[in-house]
Structure 1
Amino acid sequence: MSPVEEIVIGEGPLRWQDVVAVARNGAHLSLSASAWARIDNAQAIVECIVASGERAYGVNTGLGALCNVSLHGEQLSQLSRNTLLSHACGVGAALPDEQTRAIICAAIINYTQGKSGLHRQVVEALLTLLNRQITPQVPSQGSVGYLTHMAHIGIALLGVGNVSYRGHIMPALQALDAEGLSPVVLGAKDGLCLVNGTPCMTGLSCLAIADAQRLTHWADVVGAMSFEALRGQLNAFDAEIIALKPHPGMQIVGSNLRSLLDGSEVLANSQGIRTQDALSIRSIPQVHGATRDQLAHATRQIEIELNSATDNPLLLGTPEAYRVVSQANPHGQSVAMAADLLAIAVAELGSIAERRLDRLINPTVSGLPAFLVSQPGVNSGMMIVQYVAASLCAENRQLAQPAVTDNYVTSGLQEDHLSMGTNAALKLHRVLDNATQILAIEYLLAAQAFEFLKGQRFGVGTDAAWRLLREQVPAYDEDRWLAPDIAASAALLRSEALLETVYRSCRNVAAINTAGARLAREYDGSDATNRSDAAASSRASLAPTNNIDGDPKTYRHP
């Protein structure tokens, strides 16, 4: 599977993978002739409004509580510039470059709906920022919806503020000059278009979907390793039993676990040693599956938003017959709720992982050496890493509190219900980071537990995962500095290629294991024919994060 080198915005809807390809992987973004035509049509409507003197919010009026102040002539361009400067008042550490790039990408997609009225040269300038790797420095805090984050991107077009360019932080004007570019001169409504809408929370959420997709796949691998190390009872994952509760995500997880654990002598020799396992062990399909289902729901919500027109006002029709409609499409409630829900779901992945890893180090329930080390006492082993996991779980419980239920009044009572969608998306990223670290610790501990069981054959997938970690982290024979081991484990969990290696190991049993064969087919998408949309949607969650076929190199929306 080759990386996509160009994303072309045309007529069809875009996917979260397109945003990730541009923001994270550096794919070139361009617009089709039809997309440019839509942008030009909306801009021509703005020119008609200005020429006619018709009152239209943000075109020839003040903003927010100042919406009843009329403006004329040169004031319209000045309003656009002043809008960016006055709104660029965020605080806190700068967003990572990929997050800012995701926001810009989502904004451009928004403008190509052709309902905003942004001048063509402004969209061209945003494309230039992306494609020439000039990334505005955007403070991470200060948006109740989107305004301050978007404004910090917009001022870079004016040559104001700082940007990341060629590995250095420098004034925006200096970076523009290095590329032979001039600051943009804004026209009527340009300033409002640049700060308005939901691209901020939507772009951030697209990146979060990518990370959540990958993490759910790894969670099944790591959970299967812990299950095997604790000699779980496989009846809990029986296909007929799992099918009696037909949540789509649960079916996928059950299939994954059976395939990953196929051929395990450890489990074969452990059947019947207990009546049933603790819930954190036997409920992996139910808990992991629920997270997958919430991820599927969040993805649908976020992709709908990505392909929506979210400016205010919106411009409908043609220059000859148009309507200017003030409404509330910039309200990001759908994305905010989706991000909040996904944060809860991901926090639960971390919560159950922490319970499993705690059992691994407790000899009372594991049947393994205390804290997974020889000579416990002189060696503390894996004792304190469980503290770390517990701390991260506690933080995730705090972060899982919904942002969307907070509400404040802004702009002189004019904006009196707010989504807090950007806050929701940003805290989702923190939850994902924490959950990744928790699963990295579980991965480390499960692999160490395997060292005490390796006289028996492991499952085909769990064995591959164990060997993969051992290429980076040696077995823990005596106490050593553990932080680098956790970092190495977490790095593996951030790798799609290595994840694919583990799942593809299940092909080794595909000929004799129906579940393994289905898993292998679903992973590479080869069973996509003759599936219902619902089935395709649920099974698509098993696809790699950047699920875009390689050739041709340009992925063009028809």
Structure 2
Amino acid sequence: MAVIRSERPLGWRDIAAVATGEPLHLSGDARARIRAARELVEQIVVRGIRAYGVNTGVGALCDVVVSPAEQHDLSHNILMSHAVGVGAPLGREETRAIIAAAINNFAHGHSGVRVELVERLAALLDADCLPEVPAFGSVGYLSHMAHIALVCVGAGHVRWRGERLTGAEALRRLGLAPLSLEAKEGLSVVNGTPCVTGLAALALHRAERLLDWADVVSAMSFENLGGQMAAFDAQSLGFRVSPGLERVGARMRAVLDGSGLIASAFGRRTQDPLSMRTIPHVHGAARDVFEASADVVNRELESTTDNPIVSGTLDAPRVFSQAHAVGASIALAMDSLAAAMAQVAAMAERRLDRLVNPLVSGLPAFLAHAGGTHSGFMIAQYTAASLVAQNRRDAAPASLDGGVTSGLQEDHLCHATPAALKALAVIENSSRILAIELLAAAQAYDLQPIDAPRAPYTDALYAWLRTVVTTYRDDRPLADDMTIAFRLIADGGPPLLPDPQAVCVSGRPPLASTDLPGDCRALAAANTAFRAAIGC
């Protein structure tokens, strides 16, 4: 379904939808706002009203006046000099998300670029002809959008239909002519927070999926380890005020409902280790951080993040040459999201360690068949520990890195885009950790010495997983199984989660386990459709 940028700004879910392949269209009123802002810029140029980056230099050159005859050169040169990204290119989804956020920003009607430029960006999205954008080189913004805008003027490179093309060749094949940037356009196409906002929307999309998987995978481990359901007691959890904790507790009760393994363990311990009994607290806290971060990203998408901003009327145009391009709030949000996801994954690794440790699990050592000649999941736990350590390094706050640029003119840096890139890296690592726990929990079911049934939900999840990955017997590289499990987590949500909140909203129970599709793509589609139907 196409995403329409109309009077309503796009939300983070809209950006994520475009990132994952949905088309983006501009409504007539959005085009009208863009044209009206362009007319204001033209008046500013005619009247000689001083405006940063329109008729002055940029950065520490902001007091150098640029004549009307030089303003085209200024825009062109800004683009060329700001295209300084380095490293491997961003992926398809990351690039699409940034372009979508840029179009949303221009459509507020306060940037002053021509509608032709915005339509050119939309055309690249529509054709899935995506600029090659180096991942690194930004202390906040600038470089990523510069590499995207290069293609609009026939420079840079794209990836299209499996080929790497020059920007000029890509435009030729699309039947488009290179644009010549006019006053202010060079600054507008590199300015603002579309880069971090697009990446942040994608991070939220992936984090939401990760949190759903974390609930069900932790339930499998909890069941295998004979956890005490008192940890999820509604009255007990109610003493702590947290919407996320309440939701996770309800989910854990629903996912584990009817478990014979849990029933057989009743009263075995006064309390479980923290990695088991604090699942609602840690996952719930991460969900609360997720919701707070989503609010920040949506507010950023509602905001004009350009410098300068143009406003007023043709008779009285106004220019605001200040700091709305700085992304302090979204940098802090992405730092918080990264730390939250890292904590969820760190606790998953602790549960994994308990599953493979015969001293506490009651299971065969390292979940291996024929221990001694088989190592089972011994070294897979090493991998998880390594990824947890990597997350710990990546979760250090980017927003505090600071630095000084542009001859002391830009003497405080928030590192918003690096914060979003780090959050994406942490989410990917965390998904890999959960994938290993998922495989280990399924293996634990295979080796479970207690003759008692699993909960209906975990039984259905286990059965579905075993149609994709068979029991591990040291008969193949375990890395291959880990990759398959990672793709299951990264590419789609888990089988439909029993969610009391969803039932309350819709009046319908979740899909029965017998209705679960066997193919993971169909499963992901069914999960998405069900959530949409109930308004979740």
Please indicate, yes or no, whether the TM-score normalized by the shorter chain is above 0.5.
yes
Structure 2 counterpart SS, 1:30: strand
Letter in 2 for 1:140: A
Maintained 8 Å contact 1:253/1:289: yes
Change (3 A) 1:70 1:424: same
Aligned mate of 2:321, from 326, 334, 343: 326
Aligned mate of 1:486, from 474, 479, 482: 482
Maintained 8 Å contact 1:465/1:502: no
Match of 2:519 in 1: none
Structure 1 counterpart SS, 2:400: coil
Deviations 1:470-508 (A, max 9, x none): 111111234531011111111111233x51x342xx4xx
Change (3 A) 1:366 1:431: same
Structure 1 counterpart SS, 2:24: strand
Q: Pick 1 or 2: higher relative contact order, CA cutoff 8 A, min separation 6.
A: 1
- Aligned partners of 1:102 and 1:268: how far apart in 2? 47
Q: CA deviation at 1:210?
A: 0.3
Match of 1:430 in 2: 425
User: Structure 1 residues 65-74 or 413-422, which shifts more?
Assistant: 65-74
- Aligned partners of 2:507 and 2:447: how far apart in 1? 37
Maintained 8 Å contact 1:440/1:489: yes
- Aligned partners of 2:438 and 2:38: how far apart in 1? 54
Letter in 2 for 1:471: T
Maintained 8 Å contact 1:64/1:411: yes
User: Structure 1 residues 54-63 or 358-367, which shifts more?
Assistant: 54-63
Structure 2 counterpart SS, 1:494: helix
Residue 357 (structure 1) aligned with residue 352 (structure 2) = yes
Structure 2 counterpart SS, 1:164: strand
Match of 1:229 in 2: 224
- Aligned partners of 1:64 and 1:296: how far apart in 2? 35
- Aligned partners of 1:140 and 1:521: how far apart in 2? 43
Residues 406-485 of structure 1: pairs in structure 2 closer than 5 A? 406-453=401-448, 455-485=451-481
Deviations 1:51-103 (A, max 9, x none): 11121111111111111111123311111111101110111011112111111
Aligned mate of 1:396, from 391, 394, 397: 391
Structure 2 counterpart SS, 1:156: helix
- Aligned partners of 1:502 and 1:360: how far apart in 2? 25
- Aligned partners of 1:407 and 1:58: how far apart in 2? 24
- Aligned partners of 1:355 and 1:451: how far apart in 2? 20
Residues 67-466 of structure 1: pairs in structure 2 closer than 5 A? 67-453=62-448, 455-466=451-462
| Structure 2, gaps ≥5 residues long | 510-525
Change (3 A) 1:550 1:288: closer
Letter in 1 for 2:307: N
| Structure 1, gaps ≥5 residues long | 507-515, 528-542, 552-558
Aligned mate of 1:64, from 54, 59, 73: 59
Maintained 8 Å contact 1:255/1:519: no
Change (3 A) 1:337 1:52: same
Q: CA deviation at 1:41?
A: 1.0
Maintained 8 Å contact 1:17/1:545: no
Deviations 1:108-143 (A, max 9, x none): 100111111011111111111111111110111101
User: Structure 1 residues 314-323 or 443-452, which shifts more?
Assistant: 314-323
Deviations 1:9-42 (A, max 9, x none): 1112321111111111x21211111111111111
Q: CA deviation at 1:550?
A: 8.2
- Aligned partners of 2:265 and 2:329: how far apart in 1? 47
Change (3 A) 1:548 1:350: closer
Structure 2 counterpart SS, 1:346: helix
Deviations 1:380-433 (A, max 9, x none): 111000000000000000001000001111111111111100100001111011
- Aligned partners of 2:277 and 2:343: how far apart in 1? 15
- What RMSD, in angstroms, separates the aligned Cα atoms of the two structures? 1.9
Structure 2 counterpart SS, 1:267: helix
Structure 2 counterpart SS, 1:408: coil
TM-score by length of 1: 0.90
Deviations 1:237-292 (A, max 9, x none): 11111111120100010001000000000111110112211111111000110000
- Aligned partners of 2:351 and 2:36: how far apart in 1? 58
Q: CA deviation at 1:517?
A: 4.5
Letter in 1 for 2:470: P
Change (3 A) 1:549 1:35: farther
Change (3 A) 1:495 1:236: same
Maintained 8 Å contact 1:144/1:418: yes
- Aligned partners of 2:474 and 2:33: how far apart in 1? 66
Letter in 1 for 2:123: T
Letter in 1 for 2:217: V
Match of 1:534 in 2: none
- Aligned partners of 2:164 and 2:404: how far apart in 1? 35
Change (3 A) 1:34 1:240: same
Change (3 A) 1:469 1:544: closer
Q: CA deviation at 1:452?
A: 2.4
Residue 20 (structure 1) aligned with residue 16 (structure 2) = yes
Maintained 8 Å contact 1:42/1:318: no
- Aligned partners of 2:371 and 2:507: how far apart in 1? 47
Structure 2 counterpart SS, 1:323: strand
Letter in 1 for 2:398: A
Letter in 2 for 1:195: V
- Aligned partners of 1:52 and 1:548: how far apart in 2? 54
Q: CA deviation at 1:460?
A: 2.0
Letter in 2 for 1:23: A
Letter in 1 for 2:259: S
Maintained 8 Å contact 2:9/2:104: no
Q: CA deviation at 1:521?
A: 4.8
Letter in 2 for 1:241: S
Change (3 A) 1:403 1:474: same
- Aligned partners of 2:423 and 2:529: how far apart in 1? 20
Residues 1-12 of structure 1: pairs in structure 2 closer than 5 A? 5-12=1-8
